[in-house]
Structure 1
């Protein structure tokens, strides 16, 4: 059987799949925020505020796309060594911000609906600029997180715009789901959805951390570039479909350095534990079986 990689398809598919899944997860999270804001404005009799909400959303979306394009193409005019330094620093910054946002959402999801409604009520009293600013900040932080998550695709993005296309398609799917949710056509167990996709993002972020560590080792800021933890290149084909999948989504390398492995394991263990523990209550552990209808309610 001819490997899928021979036609170049896996590279395209895996880049689109990984970024698309991120787009769905982050897009749905942003969509829920927009859904709450719009529903509250409508039920408050303030339809005039809708255009300013959408204006803020549009600016936030432009920020996300602009940040992604800078990450993807911004290093094309510098030397390869300088590009490694930029990629390494950007990766570490991305991991820090994404970690904060994932842990924050895990803890704050129970009160986010009430906070958004209170904030929008105050903003509508203050004026259009305040409404637009609230929508921008509420959606923009998700957009920035989305763009920073795409740092992990910087190394493989030189083949074309596929990561960006996958991201946009994922966001489109999230928009459709949000509309259906708003109209009551579908129901999603939000607790489980955000729990398991949150765990997925932690693994993705661990791969970005490992990618950043390797980039800084290449540049010389971190030691141990030649201290290889293990080498499975004798039987692991990185150009095969499974190699493309693991590299495209999780930044897996068949010959990681010891420091990369240490950072990856430590990150998953520490952040994963914090993520699970922040969702626990004294009476119940693990993801709640409910759909979080209270915390994500759009009723006034």
Structure 2
């Protein structure tokens, strides 16, 4: 629940901030009449995420074990790619997010088309929605405890909506750079764990060489797949199942927070290490980059923009 709660909180707050910016701007320029179109786009984005989750969950029942593992591993890789992109996208565009969203609304309002506002609402939420769905689905497959994982995600999304509303009303001040910095670092570790599990799935399906294939080195003393340095690169890197029971609360916490599993192959360990080393280093460098004095643009309550009639009267 902790891991999926933080994921739901992070991704939900991103979406809530974006929607809050759009709603605040439309209200400020006196165009509340198009808010239903914006909410329609948001609703379509949420529906898309739910449909994708349902298809992934129920569609897998008709597949063979190998097909399920291949699809699960592939979608986990897609989730890792999306999460990685979103981490750096938010880090790079947080300072100009508000102005770019408002510029898109200005262009849509100038054209006057119905679908322009709907599309802005849809695109603004769909990215986080699809990304969250893929990431949560991958983690549920990894944990094997769907109820707890989904409850954690829903709680995170609920808190995100509440925080977004408080920010929009000016009732809460939040250093978004610090928030997205810490949650971004957490997502780097989570994504590394999802990557490791994706490799596990693909090894089980025989797509990648590993302990489940003929490429696995065999320990001559036991006749089982070798463990340790002698098993490199296609055997088990370690096996501490006797100390940390797979499926136990401790194993679940370790897997949810740092991507650790009681038994991991060398390909999993290498992939996890390279991802954290490369992506983590780039993320830290981005955080240390000099920033302007003001906080990232978010939900800022501004003075109303004068209407044309008010300007003429003046």
Q: When the two structures are superposed, what TM-score results if normalisation uses the length of structure 1? A: 0.86
> Alignment partner of 1:237: what SS?
coil
Q: Show CA shifts across 1:17-52 (max 9, x none).
A: 322221111101110000100010000010011111
Q: Deviations over 1:83-124 (max 9, x none)?
A: 111111111111112111111111111111100000011112
Instruction: Give the C-alpha shift of residue 296 in structure 1.
Output: 5.1
The one of the two structures with greater contact order (alpha-carbon pairs below 8 A, sep at least 6) is: 1
Q: What is the CA-CA distance between 1:268 and the residue it aligns to?
A: 0.7
Instruction: Report SS of the residue matched to 1:109.
Output: helix
Deviation at 1:255, TM superposition (A): 1.1
- Which structure 1 segments of 5+ residues have no match? 1-15
How do residues 13-28 of structure 1 correspond to structure 2 at under 5 angstroms?
A: 16-28=1-13
Written as runs of structure 1 = structure 2, the 5 A alignment for 1:240-259 is 240-259=248-267
Decide whether the 8 Å contact of 2:140 with 2:146 is kept in 1.
no
The DSSP-based 3-state class of the residue aligned with 2:60 is coil
Kept after mapping to 1: 8 A contact 2:142/2:197: no
Pick from 124, 132, 136 the counterpart of residue 146 of structure 1: 132
- Which of these residues, 135, 139, 151, is aligned with residue 121 of structure 2? 135
Specify whether residues 236 and 165 from structure 1 end up closer, same or farther in structure 2 by C-alpha distance, changes over 3 A only: closer
Taking the TM superposition and a 5 Å limit, the aligned residue runs for 1:1-300 are 16-126=1-111, 127-155=113-141, 159-225=145-211, 226=216, 227-281=235-289, 283=290, 291-292=295-296, 294=297, 297=300, 299=302
Number of residue pairs matched by the alignment = 280
Alpha-carbon distance in structure 2 between the residues aligned to 1:74 and 1:195: 36
Question: Which segment drifts farther, 159-168 or 228-237?
Answer: 159-168
Unmatched 5+ stretches in structure 2: 217-234, 306-314
Give the corresponding residue for 1:11: none
Q: TM-score, length-normalised on structure 2?
A: 0.83
Query: Alpha carbon RMSD of aligned pairs, Å?
Result: 2.1
After TM superposition, give the deviation of residue 53 of structure 1 in Å.
Answer: 1.1
Whose radius of gyration is greater, 1 or 2? 2
